Amino acid sequence: MASKTQIVCLHEGEKRDGGDEKGGGIDQVFINRIIRTLKPAWIKARTNRVRCIPCGGRSEVIKKMPKELKTCIRYGGHTTLMVWADLDADMKAGNDLRMKFWKTAQTAGITEEQFDTVVFIFPKYHIENLYEFLLEGKTNEKFKASKDSNKNKRKNRAKAAVKELAKRCSKTQADPPLPPSLEWSCKNWREISQTNEQRLKW
């Protein structure tokens, strides 16, 4: 890991030759843009900031998480591990999936205090429902949103909404309501952010 990297993101999806993702997983462009728009206070200027690690499916993300967390801890400072994984029919609630990560982390010797430093972002049914919310202002998380056949067009349209999402995610705003999985993820982000910002004052 580059010494100036301060947020490491594990996420679903793999890279083909040429850098494109396959497997319908999380979009690296979106991850980078949302983090850079959030501008965490503990990230210093002139750093690489974000390093994305595609892991294939969700089970692989769970498997890799303890090792990457140990690496972040070893680098020290304010290096943060961020984990993006999908909620779906067999794992509907954010806390349930977080507990699955915790069981694997415990087996690998991760303490609860260390585990609590991880930021978990769990979109429902891939990032498609999140895109649908950003582009249309609503989504039904009981169903998987239909994919836009023009992926580049979808990316460009979603970029315009990231700024507003980052503002909503940084602060508690009840109306209009966020989809449940996004509200859960934003709450997790705010808690970790407040802890890290507090550390800067110590």
Q: How far apart are CA 120 and CA 83, in angstroms?
A: 5
Cβ(68)–Cβ(62) under 8 Å?
Answer: no
Q: How far apart are CA 170 and CA 189, in angstroms?
A: 8
Cβ(99)–Cβ(105) under 8 Å?
Answer: no
- Could you give the number of structural domains in the chain? 1
pLDDT digits (tens, 9 = 90+) for 84-135: 988 877 777 888 899 999 999 999 999 999 998 898 988 877 777 777 777 7
pLDDT digits (tens, 9 = 90+) for 156-201: 666 777 777 787 777 766 667 788 888 888 888 887 777 766 554 5
Range of the domain at 51: 5-201
pTM (predicted TM-score): 0.75
Cβ(93)–Cβ(87) under 8 Å?
Answer: yes
